[in-house]
Amino acid sequence: MAKAVIIGAGIGGIATAVRLALKGYKVTVLEANDTFGGKMQEFWLGKYRFDAGPSLFTLPHLVDELFEAAGRNPQDHFTYSRLNPITHYFWPDGSHVKAYAEPAAFAAEVNQELGVPKNAVLQALEKSKRLYTGTADTFLQKSLHRLDTYLSPDVLKALGCLSDLGLTTTMHQANAKQFSDPRFVQLLDRFATYNGSDPYQAPGTLNIIPHLEHNLGAFYPEGGIYAIAASLVKLAEELGVIFKYNECVTQILTEGKQVTGVATSAGKYKADVVVSNMDVVPTYRKLLPQHTAPEKTLQQPRSSSALIFYWGIRRSFPQLHVHNIFFSQDYKAEFEHIFKYKTVSPDPTVYINITSKADLADAPANAENWFVMVNVPHNQGQDWPELTRATRQAVLQKLSAMLQTDVEALIEEEQLLDPLLIESRTSSFGGALYGSSSNNRMAAFLRHPNFSSKLTGLYFCGGSVHPGGGIPLCLLSAKIVAGLVPAIVSRSTHNVK
Ligand code: FAD
């Protein structure tokens, strides 16, 4: 039976394990940590439950289709509900907008609160949909590094959108051209942060992202985001995948140009196929030091990272929802702090995720579990203890003013996540959340491919390679890898129910 070894049990590695097991491979996942999930962890602080990493979940059908591919009814294993409103936005001038799930209701709210014409909002969402539908099949569902991708009819569809794609403008320029209200422009620009980029540098192409949230919807999985990883690991195990924890891969083994397996602290594993779910930079630097690394790819600027304060708050705030944004006064200056000066803005935009709004069991009665996040640069040796201290103070000051209450006095549990911890816990280079940033128009093509062009049998999945970071794209990377890995000639019989 052909063997596949997957390095890392992040969401991309888990999804790849499911897909390769279904392809007939005997799959072993080797994970350095003592559990699965990578950035997707959960933990309790006293009586408060927290999802440690990702909080926003879109394109849930990408999880469903893994269960369906295995012949299962997804609803028997993984359930989720649509959020409405999706996000509650607050501006320093006191205005606020509830982003309702229905585009018409969202447009009506934006019109009422910000005075932006309803039709203009709906037209922007329609355009976002058109661009996504025209380009996703080529740019997100296929390898960009294979000739057959460019011979597919989907490319014609993508070419049809070229003039609309905004490749020659930045995301901010495109939004500011369309809307005169700076608050609504800020709301639209914020979608650049969904892959850790800067709206003042990233191409207008990123304006496809609002379609995912505003037309297709944002969802909350029963049991929290962690349930995505947990349910897929269960599925993988039922398909025969073996997960080995506390087993750090130290080398990818090769003979000539063929990958033959991996070495770990505990021994050697032979494999016909090796898939790295580890960040691509340490994959080359640590596991393949004897091979030439694709330097141009590895040198691409990293995405942003995050400072997260997990706070158990002993009060409930009826004006808050699952996702909440408290905008900065000067968005341009905020991104300059992150990407130009490599530091944290003294007036950062603050995101608060409160899962106890969706699941009361996540916090005690009349209390809330606040995941308070600020975008920051990836680690380049900054003084993180000092930046954390200053940012915590700025965040408390801002929230206390905007919510008109002394927030610090309400904190009864507290924990912190910073770029250094993200890097040490998941090997993500510099603690970047999404691999490389999309701050230039060639970024999509400069991400590492899902396969090695130098070593046969070596593949890559996860947030640091094509098509990019975030749960949906990691799931798509697994799908692309499974399409590239050779089919097994004498198929094994899997007991797929
Ligand atoms: P990772 O999660 O990076 O895991 C890689 C795994 O490989 C780790 O478990 C690591 O221990 C293991 N590993 C590394 N080296 C080795 C080795 N040598 N041997 C064995 N194992 C190894 N995405 C969204 O979609 N929505 C969000 O709202 C969102 N918010 C985020 C907020 C935060 C704070 C963070 C950190 C991320 C967020 N993301 C979000 C991004 C999302 O979490 C990631 O893109 C995704 O989880 C990355 O998955 P991955 O498959 O690349 O693996």
CATH code at 245? 3.50.50.60
AA letter at 169: T
| CA of residue 188 to ligand 1 center, whole Å | 25
| CA of residue 37 to ligand 1 center, whole Å | 7
Q: Does a structural domain hold residue 20? A: yes
**Ligand 1: nearest atom to the Cα of 462:** 52
Question: Are the C-beta atoms of residues 207 and 191 closer than 8 Å to each other?
Answer: yes
Q: Does a structural domain hold residue 63? A: yes
Same domain? 125 vs 66:
no
What percent of the chain clears pLDDT 70, i.e. is strictly above it? 94
> Ligand 1 pocket, 249 CB below 6 A?
yes
From 179, 229, 196, 182, select the one nearest 302 (Cα to Cα). Answer: 196
From 178, 179, 168, 180, select the one nearest 205 (Cα to Cα). Answer: 168
Same domain? 209 vs 227:
no
Q: Does a structural domain hold residue 99? A: no
End-to-end CA distance of the chain: 21
Same domain? 116 vs 206:
yes
What strands, in cross-sheet order, belong to the sheet with 368-376?
A: 96-99, 87-90, 323-326, 350-354, 368-376, 305-313, 411-417
Using pLDDT thresholds of 50, 70 and 90, give the confidence band for residue 143. confident
Using pLDDT thresholds of 50, 70 and 90, give the confidence band for residue 443. confident
Q: Identify the three-state secondary structure at position 255.
A: strand
> Ligand 1 pocket, 281 CB below 6 A?
no
Q: Does a structural domain hold residue 245? A: yes
Same domain? 8 vs 31:
yes
Q: Does a structural domain hold residue 340? A: no
Using pLDDT thresholds of 50, 70 and 90, give the confidence band for residue 149. low
How many whole angstroms separate alpha carbon 225 and alpha carbon 223?
7
> Ligand 1 pocket, 228 CB below 6 A?
no
Q: Identify the three-state secondary structure at position 402.
A: helix
Tens digits of residue pLDDT in 282-324? 999 999 999 999 999 999 999 999 999 999 999 999 999 999 9
Using pLDDT thresholds of 50, 70 and 90, give the confidence band for residue 490. low
Pocket test for ligand 1, best of 233, 277, 285 (most atoms within 8 A of CB): 277
Using pLDDT thresholds of 50, 70 and 90, give the confidence band for residue 497. very low
Using pLDDT thresholds of 50, 70 and 90, give the confidence band for residue 495. very low
How many whole angstroms separate alpha carbon 485 and alpha carbon 494?
18
> Ligand 1 pocket, 474 CB below 6 A?
yes
How many whole angstroms separate alpha carbon 468 and alpha carbon 452?
17
Q: Give the 3-state secondary structure percentages of the chain, helix then strand then coil, rounded to 5.
A: 40, 20, 40
Using the predicted structure, report yes or no on whether residue 141 has a pLDDT greater than 90. Answer: no
Q: Does a structural domain hold residue 290? A: yes
From 308, 306, 305, 304, select the one nearest 392 (Cα to Cα). Answer: 308
Burial (Cβ within 10 Å: 0-12, 13-18, ≥19) of residue 326: buried
Same domain? 246 vs 156:
no
**How many domains does the chain contain in total?**
2
| CA of residue 464 to ligand 1 center, whole Å | 9
pLDDT of residue 156: 63
DSSP string of 282-337, one letter each residue? HIIIII-TTS---HHHHTSPB--EEEEEEEEESS--TT--SEEEE--S-HHHHHII
Determine the number of helices (DSSP H) and then strands (DSSP E) in the chain.
17, 19
| CA of residue 93 to ligand 1 center, whole Å | 36
Same domain? 204 vs 236:
no
Same domain? 199 vs 227:
no
Using pLDDT thresholds of 50, 70 and 90, give the confidence band for residue 162. low
What integer is the mean pLDDT of 382-399? 98
Same domain? 197 vs 230:
no
Using pLDDT thresholds of 50, 70 and 90, give the confidence band for residue 133. confident
Q: Does a structural domain hold residue 403? A: no
Which DSSP helix (H) or strand (E) runs through 5? Answer: strand 3-7
What percent of the chain clears pLDDT 90, i.e. is strictly above it? 88
- Ranges of beta strands (E only) in 101-199 are none
- Residue linked to tokens 């900054």: 382
How many whole angstroms separate alpha carbon 95 and alpha carbon 231?
40
Domain residues for 144? 106-178+187-213
How many whole angstroms separate alpha carbon 60 and alpha carbon 437?
24
Mean of the per-residue pLDDT values for the chain? 94
Same domain? 202 vs 129:
yes
Same domain? 155 vs 69:
no
Backbone φ and ψ for 272, nearest 5 degrees, come out as -80, -30
| Angle at alpha carbon of residue 123, lines to 118 and 129, rounded to 5° | 135
What integer is the mean pLDDT of 144-168? 67
pLDDT of residue 160: 65
Using pLDDT thresholds of 50, 70 and 90, give the confidence band for residue 491. very low
How many whole angstroms separate alpha carbon 115 and alpha carbon 64?
39
From 5, 41, 458, 35, select the one nearest 242 (Cα to Cα). Answer: 5
Tens digits of residue pLDDT in 220-239? 999 999 999 999 999 999 99
Same domain? 247 vs 270:
yes
pLDDT of residue 88: 98
pLDDT of residue 124: 96
Tens digits of residue pLDDT in 77-99? 999 999 999 999 999 999 999 99
**Ligand 1: nearest atom to the Cα of 427:** 14
Give the β-pairing of 48-51 and 42-45: antiparallel
| Count of beta carbons in the 10 Å neighbourhood of residue 283 | 27
pLDDT of residue 134: 79
Question: Cis link prior to 182 (omega < 30° from 0)?
Answer: no
Same domain? 229 vs 209:
no
What integer is the mean pLDDT of 9-14? 98
Q: Identify the three-state secondary structure at position 423.
A: helix
Q: Does a structural domain hold residue 320? A: no
Using the predicted structure, report yes or no on whether residue 150 has a pLDDT greater than 70. Answer: no
Question: Are the C-beta atoms of residues 166 and 204 closer than 8 Å to each other?
Answer: yes
How many whole angstroms separate alpha carbon 356 and alpha carbon 48?
9
Using the predicted structure, report yes or no on whether residue 432 has a pLDDT greater than 90. Answer: yes
pLDDT of residue 158: 65
**Ligand 1: nearest atom to the Cα of 279:** 3
Of residues 442 and 262, the one with the higher pLDDT is: 262
